[in-house]
Structure 1
């Protein structure tokens, strides 16, 4: 087999795979731009005859997608940012500070946290939120989202920090940097690929989370997009164009994140794989 053909076969297979993955989304996107169910049923996979953007206006305003979208956005962003900062600080203490026994004990506890499925903690979390009297508020989602992401975040960031040479730390200390200054001015900039990857993973997990949001929040004005989409589907179950429009709104932030931060994602996934 010629060398050029050997190189072309994997690319062809990947292109077919990408086409299969993207095909449902293309169908949803085209359907969201069609006027009504008649056009969708007559030509389900065809390009829209006319771009009917009124669907997006109706879904955004009348179906309260704007409220659900805002709730999901600020909850996912705030918890992801706080989770990254807490995980980075913990990873710095575990890997760069000289507390060998304590660090090993804490690190083992973090690993144990990875072995516990999140759904197992649901009842305990519900009771805790109830005793704290924060059910039916966004705090009931903020704290579980932040805490639940810490084990994996610490594991990934710690692997990246362990690969950093000790000479950087020693040179910074000689220059007079304290531990907080070393962390902020040296460690955080160097671990940016891992931090971005952890942020994206946490953001996507919080953006798509449904179980806690469904049981901890009952007020419609506080619902996140996944739970709001259930009511949206029930209210507009006969209007497929509007349902497809809601789906487009729900996946747009994810696509934008991958489009602009794909380089950092790839770098962060390989964090710690090569000793620096």
Structure 2
């Protein structure tokens, strides 16, 4: 028994040590960027690993107003939020139809189409999407990103939500039908309220994917007034004449939605993981 306890204790210690090393590797670049966001260019270049002599809050003001990060931030927030919400609504409706309604032949076709869509890399569709957006006069409009984001986010969303809907007992539908609910009332008044815990992580995954996306944003939105935050980082050097401190401050601004979303929704995320 003592040998087994020692082995379990050693195993737990090793696992925690590996986890701590992993966390340190993940947090180190973030800590370096945060530290550098308060430095001058000279300090960053000459003393990259030291703390700043004077903690410059002006880098954040310079990035937010001087480099128009506030404008790009709102563009990213609006586009990412709309696309994530629409993906969740369409994905939830599709998942409900595929798992709770009876149309076996069409259901197999839809599932196969979604499975194929999962296997197609987004990069291979950039040229066809570019031509399609130009032909529909959507190029250089917010819809040029919102619609592709919904399209690429829908297949994984459907499969994730479907896995949860399959576990729902049929008695819920029977009870809702006896109360006179339509198929839409059954979905939005019975199923969705119960499914909120797993729907929140799905929304977060789609939002963060849209928020960090660069390739399509760089190709489909060339007008500066529609530019998103990841794309604006590329032109940051020219706008601020190689101001690394303000660039690091802009990177910290890009983390705000991620951090806020986690702190506001962490209880539901943990509850979903435990379930």
Shorter-chain TM-score above 0.5:
yes
Matching of residue 121 in structure 1 with residue 157 in structure 2: no
Q: Which runs of 4+ in 1 moved over 4 A?
A: 266-271
Compute the TM-score of the two structures, normalised by the length of structure 1.
Answer: 0.91
Given candidates 107, 123, 144, the residue that maps to 2:111 is 107
What secondary structure sits across from 1:109 in the alignment? helix
What secondary structure sits across from 1:153 in the alignment? helix
Given candidates 187, 197, 222, the residue that maps to 2:226 is 222
CA distance in 1, matches of 2:268, 2:71: 30
Given candidates 3, 6, 12, the residue that maps to 1:7 is 12
Given candidates 205, 212, 215, the residue that maps to 2:216 is 212
Q: Unpaired runs of 5+ in structure 2?
A: none
Deviation, 1:55, is 0.7
Cα pair distance change 1:103/1:77, threshold 3 Å = same
CA distance in 1, matches of 2:120, 2:42: 48
Cα pair distance change 1:133/1:269, threshold 3 Å = farther
Given candidates 247, 258, 266, the residue that maps to 2:262 is 258
Given candidates 243, 246, 261, the residue that maps to 2:247 is 243
8 Å CA contact 1:237, 1:243 repeated in 2: no
**Residue aligning to 2:86:** 82
Given candidates 54, 72, 79, the residue that maps to 2:58 is 54
8 Å CA contact 1:95, 1:161 repeated in 2: yes
Given candidates 44, 60, 81, the residue that maps to 1:40 is 44
Q: Unpaired runs of 5+ in structure 1?
A: 272-276
8 Å CA contact 1:118, 1:148 repeated in 2: yes
Over the aligned positions, Cα root-mean-square deviation in angstroms equals 1.9
**Residue aligning to 1:169:** 173
Given candidates 123, 128, 143, the residue that maps to 1:139 is 143
